[in-house]
Chain A
């Protein structure tokens, strides 16, 4: 095993081009587990910890450019307003110690269906900034996850940042684990209301081979909200709409039975989380609307 310590992003790209099998390590919270447990012996380990700008973020007009290694604890602390869904998801990641090291780049690189960031990214809308010596490209999050622990990166590419749409409405994230802290998702659900486009987006974690959106559920809900004039009248979403949405979210799952939970439970739980988080976000939207109208 060789340990590569690129001092700059350019050096890292060059090293990755030269050694496409090199495993990048930032927070180490996935890679080191595999090394400690003898599950992985990469020829090259490439430390990204010396590249300072990977731990920085910029808040733009439309989106936040989040460096790949910004630790979850920083997202919780500093980006709660801009990225509420991701901040909530960050808070459910493992333990405080892990949240101090791990970042979204690692979650994307590992592309485990159980990664906590994925549902929030899918719901918010995001693009992954991937770069190699050949150039930079932005991969839409919907096209990023290609299989169990597989993603759309080319062998010579590294994740530099994620561009996440700034919240224009309430977002929520909910995750089921069999412990009240420090637990891997049995399944997870993210939702984001986008009042500007009058759409709702979702993300489901750990209930299919890859993180997925519940597209049929989104389409149903978008239509139902539009039809009932909900975005304008701010009425309570009818229980039948919420239930149908929840059922469609459950239906979007393609889970397995494993040691963490049954497929049947995962489907059920995603449905419950979908209904609850829809209620929370919608109540929040209604509350904000009332406040705005009251002020006006």
Chain B
């Protein structure tokens, strides 16, 4: 079957899709967007988390055909998504021009030169929340969405919001640090 939908703001089409394929498979193997990860394919790890019409979901459990006509945001589109959000929330005290000129800061980093990152992406790097990185894309999508809803979460709020995303490397402490850091930078309007 054929599927047309929007991924990271761009119209996409996939042909000859087998009916049992998941949205995750189509993203990874047909659209060249392997950022969403295939750790369990049973909705028990969150590494394939994408936004489907704005809502975080496990893309492994969305039948590809169900994405027909819908809008998907993946980790590959997270920086754009965050920039557009920053533009549209000028009322919080950031002018449109300021928002457009936004650059990640605080990066004492030998990494990431020339790549524009969303605040949560930068915070994950800065806080040491990335080790093997396989859980990272799903966590970023989930954490970004939480901060959109709840800009100043408590630790328990963060843990609850990320309880569907397994990480095997970090023991989650640096992930907590990263989300706190992103929230703090966000509230400072950085």
Are A3 and B63 in touch, CB under 8 angstroms?
A: yes
A32 contacts chain B at the CB level, 8 A cutoff: yes
Whether A97 contacts B46 by the Cβ 8 Å rule is yes
**A94 and B65 contact, CB distance less than 8 A:** no
Q: Is B41 an interface residue (CB 8 A)?
A: yes
Provide the residues of chain A in CB contact with B142, threshold 8 Å.
96-97
Instruction: Answer whether A33 and B42 are a contact pair too, CB < 8 Å, given A97-B164, A181-B163.
Output: yes
B137 at the A interface (CB under 8 A): no
Shortest distance between the CB of B78 and any CB in chain A (Å): 16
Bitwise interface map of A from 25 to 55 toward B, beta carbon under 8 Å scored 1, else 0: 1011101110111000100010101000000
* Assembled-state Cα–Cα distance A25/B46 (Å): 20
User: Is residue B84 contacting chain A, with contact meaning CB distance below 8 A?
Assistant: no
Q: Which residue on chain B has the smallest CB distance to residue A96?
A: B164
Q: Mark B50-64, 1 if CB is under 8 A from A, else 0.
A: 000001111011110
Chain A contacts for B1, CB-based, 8 A: 3
Inter-chain CA distance A2–B19, complex, in Å, is: 6
In the assembled complex, B68 has its CB within 8 A of some CB on chain A:
yes
Interface residue A95 (Cβ < 8 Å from any Cβ of B): yes
Determine the interface band of chain B, counting residues with CB < 8 A from chain A.
20 to 34
Report Cα–Cα, A25/B163, bound state, in Å.
Answer: 25
Whether, in the assembled complex, A138 has its beta carbon less than 8 Å from a beta carbon of chain B, the answer is no
A256 adjacent to chain B (CB < 8 Å) = no
Residues of B with C-beta under 8 A to A268: none
B-contacting residues, A60-99, CB 8 Å: 94-98
Residue pair B63, A28 in contact (C-beta under 8 Å): yes
Q: Are A101 and B62 in contact (CB under 8 A)?
A: yes
Taking CB atoms, residues of chain B closer than 8 Å to A27 are 61
Set B46, B65, B164: member contacting A3, Cβ < 8 A = B65
Query: Which B residues are CB-close (under 8 A) to A35?
Result: 20, 22, 63
Q: State the CA gap A160–B46 with chains docked (Å).
A: 29
CB of A3 within 8 A of CB of B22, answer no
Q: How many Å from the CB of B98 to the closest CB on chain A?
A: 32
- B161 on the A face (CB < 8 A): yes
User: Is B43 positioned at the interface, with any CB of A under 8 Å from its CB?
Assistant: yes
Question: With A1-B19, A28-B66, A97-B43 given, is the CB distance from A33 to B61 under 8 Å?
Answer: yes
Instruction: Tell me the B residues contacting A by CB distance below 8 Å.
Output: 1, 18-20, 22, 41-44, 46, 49, 55-58, 60-63, 65-66, 68, 142, 160-161, 163-165
- Return the 5 tightest CB-CB contacts between A and B, nearest first: A95-B164, A181-B163, A3-B19, A1-B19, A32-B61
Taking Cβ atoms with an 8 Å cutoff, the residues of A that contact B are: 1-3, 5, 25, 27-29, 31-33, 35-37, 41, 45, 47, 49, 94-98, 100-101, 180-182
24 A-B residue pairings within 8 Å (CB atoms): A1-B18, A1-B19, A1-B20, A3-B63, A25-B66, A28-B63, A28-B66, A29-B58, A29-B61, A32-B61, A32-B62, A35-B20, A45-B19, A45-B63, A49-B66, A94-B43, A95-B165, A96-B164, A97-B46, A98-B58, A98-B164, A100-B56, A100-B57, A181-B163
